[in-house]
Amino acid sequence: MTEANSKPEGNLKSGSALERTYVSGQFVCTGEVGPPKEASFHHVEMYGTGMKGRVDAINLTDNQTAVTRLSSWAAAVKLVLMGLEPNLQMVCRDRNRLAMQSDLLGAYAHGVRNVLCLTGDHQAFGNHPGCKGVYDVDSIQLIGIVKKLRDEGCFECGEECKNNPKFFIGCVENPFGDPFEFRAVRLEKKIEAGADFVQTQCILDMERFELFMEKVRERGLHKRIYISPGLMPVKSPKMARYMQHGVPGMLVSEEFCQYLETASNGKIGALDLTVDYIKRCQQMEGVAGVHIMAVAWEEVVPLVVQKAGLLPRPFAAFHDNPAPISDEIKALWKKSGVDNYIPELA
């Protein structure tokens, strides 16, 4: 395990496995686990083990959709203890700069090396809609804070931070948000602020994403930041239609919905479509990897990764080979009817 004050090797900023993979030029593949609404690491352990050796890093969402969950910080440390590489998500909704920097120090001291800076869904979406949203800083300012800690060794206030945390800094951009023309500019602002990699909002409309990438390439941004589009296996056609109409900031193409609706097996279709999207992303100039965000369906990440031919991972989880698939994960596959998707894993 890495020590708190160890220096990243060579020209690396953090030395994380994720950074190494991006820097090596190999196609990056990250996964994601949503911590549970309970005081237990069971889910984090189960899904984390399933992804071990199959992804380069695992995102831990931070009270996603503004619903109180086990903290992303604690879940990230759990992954470190399991020998896995976490990507710590940090939203601006719940903490001020004082608490965020405090958590960054704690996470780094525990061996966390990647941090993903986000604004966060508004608290009105979640299970405490009347709570006070913090938004002391926005995501761009947060990126600047993490960079200042890393590169200047000082806190946002300017005070020196000894044994400063040296994170690989991630950000998010939504190619489906408006104003569309501003989205690439916003990404550029994040690069200027200090972002090293970006994971996009999930791509359920490939044409629009291609348009976004055109704007990105026009500005030469793909040469300044590693880009991983977010890809989501969507469990049911109904869910796809819901996201098409009911989730602000999302665009779901007709092609996507209809593919799921006409597939003979919707679940298998969802996995096939994700694999297809991965392959399309691999062909796209300026795309450095994919981020597989199987929200509430985390158990399928190993299937998608293997089917897409992304194994073995070069530096994943400190050179571990893919972990054996647990009976618990296999039972979940069976439950959603995808247990024979890759026969040798069944």
Partner 1 sequence: MIVAEGKPVEKILEMIAPYKKVLIAGCRGCVTVCLTGGEKEVGILASQIRMARSKDGNALEVLEQTEERQCDAEYNAKFLENVGKVDAIVSLACGIGIQYLGEKYPLTPIYPGVNTLMLGANIDVGRWEERCFACGDCVLDKTGGICPIARCSKSLLNGPCGGSQFGKCEVSAPVKEDIPCGWQLIYDRLSALGQLDKMSEIIPAKNWLRAKGPRTYVREDLTLDRS
Distances (CA, A) of 294 to 112, 148, 166, 289, 333: 22, 32, 29, 16, 13
Find the part of the chain contacting partner 1 (CB under 8 A) among 15-23, 135-143, 269-277, 291-299.
Answer: 135-143
Give the residue among 164, 152, 168 at the shortest CA–CA distance from 20. 168
Residue 205 found at the interface with partner 1 (CB under 8 A) = no
* Nearest approach, Cβ of residue 47 and partner 1 (Å): 24
Binds partner 1 by CB under 8 A, chosen from 4, 81, 99, 185? 185
Residue 177 found at the interface with partner 1 (CB under 8 A) = yes
Residue 242 found at the interface with partner 1 (CB under 8 A) = no
* Nearest approach, Cβ of residue 186 and partner 1 (Å): 5
| Token pair listed for 272 | 């096939």
Helix 266-282, helix 254-262: angle, nearest 10: 140
Binds partner 1 by CB under 8 A, chosen from 3, 160, 178, 327? 178
Residue 286 found at the interface with partner 1 (CB under 8 A) = no
Nearer CB in complex with partner 1: 64/174: 174
Provide the pairing of β-strand 28-33 with 226-231. unpaired
Binding mask 113-132 for partner 1 (x = CB under 8 A): ------x-xx-xx---x---
* Nearest approach, Cβ of residue 138 and partner 1 (Å): 4
Site for partner 1 in 145-174 (CB under 8 A): 145, 156, 172-174
Residue 179 found at the interface with partner 1 (CB under 8 A) = yes
* Nearest approach, Cβ of residue 289 and partner 1 (Å): 20
* Nearest approach, Cβ of residue 319 and partner 1 (Å): 35
| Token pair listed for 88 | 């710590």
Nearer CB in complex with partner 1: 10/248: 248
Nearer CB in complex with partner 1: 176/297: 176
| Token pair listed for 132 | 């006070």
Residue 136 found at the interface with partner 1 (CB under 8 A) = yes
Sequence-distant (6+) residues with CB within 8 A of 232 are 202, 203, 204, 274, 292, 293, 294, 295
CA 323 to chain CA centroid, nearest Å: 21
Residue 220 found at the interface with partner 1 (CB under 8 A) = no
Residue 192 found at the interface with partner 1 (CB under 8 A) = yes
Site size for partner 1, by CB under 8 A?
Answer: 40
Residue 2 found at the interface with partner 1 (CB under 8 A) = no
Q: Is the Cβ–Cβ distance between 67 and 126 less than 8 Å?
A: yes
Q: Is the Cβ–Cβ distance between 29 and 55 less than 8 Å?
A: yes
Q: Is the Cβ–Cβ distance between 166 and 114 less than 8 Å?
A: no
Find the part of the chain contacting partner 1 (CB under 8 A) among 67-75, 92-100, 230-238, 278-286.
Answer: 92-100
CA distance 244 to 240: 6
Nearer CB in complex with partner 1: 164/199: 199
Write out the residues near partner 1 by the rule CB under 8 A.
Answer: 92-93, 97, 119, 121-122, 124-125, 129, 133, 135-141, 144-145, 156, 172-174, 176-179, 182, 185-186, 188-189, 192-193, 201, 246-250
